[in-house]
């Protein structure tokens, strides 16, 4: 049986992933600030809508920008944005509720679920309460729920996740709440930001592609563009 792939909205990412996101799993995009996570999330949402579906966009950081959407799809951003269902939790309690709402939203019209990002509120909350165990458990529940939806409904889930360290760090980057994601997410892409706007996406885990396949790109008005070495 062919694995169902769903376009990422970018030809170069589709090539990296032999066709696109796998529909039946969680894909994690992780990297430091400004590495391009939100850009890829917006592009993925646009692609889902262009396929005639709706996109669920859980925006925990206010990272989504209408201005940016307008640059990517100048002509039809207004009709497009109507097909994106936004959930904008501002604390962990609201994030929990957002996930409650999600189950009611899931139908055949939904072409992708995006969580940008999963760790932010988690980090804030840990800082505040120190109830590491409870929060961890909740986050675990949320992530397994997403992974279950993708498996059962074949709706690709894309989770963006911020990491502490930067491009220049030789040490391996740490994902906040990372272990939880590492296990549920069958595809992991590391994003790195280098000098002069050069960025890199490296495939770190995939069920059917060798790891460390990569693509160098830059962010442009229309989306992302390959930078050939």
Ligand X SMILES: Nc1ncnc2c1ncn2[C@@H]1O[C@H](COP(=O)(O)OP(=O)(O)OP(=O)(O)O)[C@@H](O)[C@H]1O
Helix axes 92-105, 132-153, angle to 10 degrees: 20
Q: Which is nearer to ligand X, 149 or 219 (CB)?
A: 219
Q: Which is nearer to ligand X, 68 or 153 (CB)?
A: 68
Binding-site ranges for ligand X (CB under 6 A)? 31, 33-39, 61, 63, 68, 71, 162, 219-221
Q: Name the binder of 39 from Mg ion, ligand X, none, CB < 5-8 A by kind.
A: ligand X
**How far apart are alpha carbons 30 and 32 in whole angstroms?**
7
Q: Which is nearer to Mg ion, 24 or 39 (CB)?
A: 39
Q: Return all residues near 141 (Cβ < 8 A) that are at least 6 apart.
A: 99
**How far apart are alpha carbons 83 and 48 in whole angstroms?**
9
With CB under 5 A as the contact rule, the residue among 7, 8, 28, 38 that binds Mg ion is 38
Q: Which is nearer to ligand X, 23 or 27 (CB)?
A: 27
The DSSP letter of residue 109 is: T
Does position 63 interact with Mg ion (CB under 5 A)? The reply is: yes
Smallest separation, CB 45 to ligand X (Å): 13
Q: Which is nearer to ligand X, 34 or 105 (CB)?
A: 34
**How far apart are alpha carbons 63 and 60 in whole angstroms?**
8
Smallest separation, CB 48 to ligand X (Å): 17
Q: Name the binder of 199 from Mg ion, ligand X, none, CB < 5-8 A by kind.
A: none
Q: 57 φ, ψ to 5°?
A: -120, 105
Question: Taking the alpha carbons of 176, 179, 180, 184 in that order, is the dihedral positive or negative?
Answer: positive
Does position 19 interact with Mg ion (CB under 5 A)? The reply is: no
Smallest separation, CB 37 to ligand X (Å): 3
Q: Are 32 and 193 in contact (CB under 8 A)?
A: yes
**How far apart are alpha carbons 65 and 132 in whole angstroms?**
31
Does position 32 interact with Mg ion (CB under 5 A)? The reply is: no
Q: Which is nearer to ligand X, 23 or 48 (CB)?
A: 48
- At 65, list the tokens: 């920008």
- At 196, list the tokens: 């002069």
Task: Point out the residue whose Cβ comes nearest to Mg ion.
Answer: 38
Q: What residues form DSSP beta bridges with 192?
A: 200
CB atoms within 10 A of CB 1: 3
Q: Name the binder of 33 from Mg ion, ligand X, none, CB < 5-8 A by kind.
A: ligand X
Q: Name the binder of 162 from ligand X, Mg ion, none, CB < 5-8 A by kind.
A: ligand X
Contact residues toward Mg ion (CB under 5 A) are 37-38, 63
């Amino acid at each position: 049986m062919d694995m169902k792939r769903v376009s990422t909205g970018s030809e170069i990412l589709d090539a990296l992933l032999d066709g696109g996101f796998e529909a039946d799993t969680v894909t994690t995009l992780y990297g430091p600030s400004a590495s391009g996570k939100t850009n890829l999330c917006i592009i993925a949402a646009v692609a889902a809508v262009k396929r005639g579906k709706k996109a669920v966009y859980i925006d925990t950081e206010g990272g989504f920008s209408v201005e940016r959407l307008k640059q990517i799809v100048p002509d039809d951003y207004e009709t497009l944005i109507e097909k994106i269902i936004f959930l904008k939790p501002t604390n962990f309690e609201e994030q929990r509720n957002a996930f409650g709402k999600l189950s009611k939203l899931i139908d055949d019209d939904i072409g992708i679920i995006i969580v940008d990002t999963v760790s932010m509120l988690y980090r804030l909350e840990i800082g505040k309460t120190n109830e590491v165990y409870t929060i961890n458990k909740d986050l675990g529940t949320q992530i397994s729920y997403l992974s279950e939806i993708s498996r059962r409904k074949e709706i690709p889930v894309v989770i963006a996740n911020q990491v502490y360290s930067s491009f220049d760090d030789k040490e391996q980057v740490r994902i906040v709440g990372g272990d939880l994601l590492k296990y549920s997410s069958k595809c992991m892409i590391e994003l790195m930001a280098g000098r002069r706007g050069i960025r890199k996406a490296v495939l770190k885990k995939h069920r059917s592609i060798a790891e460390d396949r990569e693509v160098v790109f830059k962010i442009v008005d229309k989306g992302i563009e390959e930078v050939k070495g």
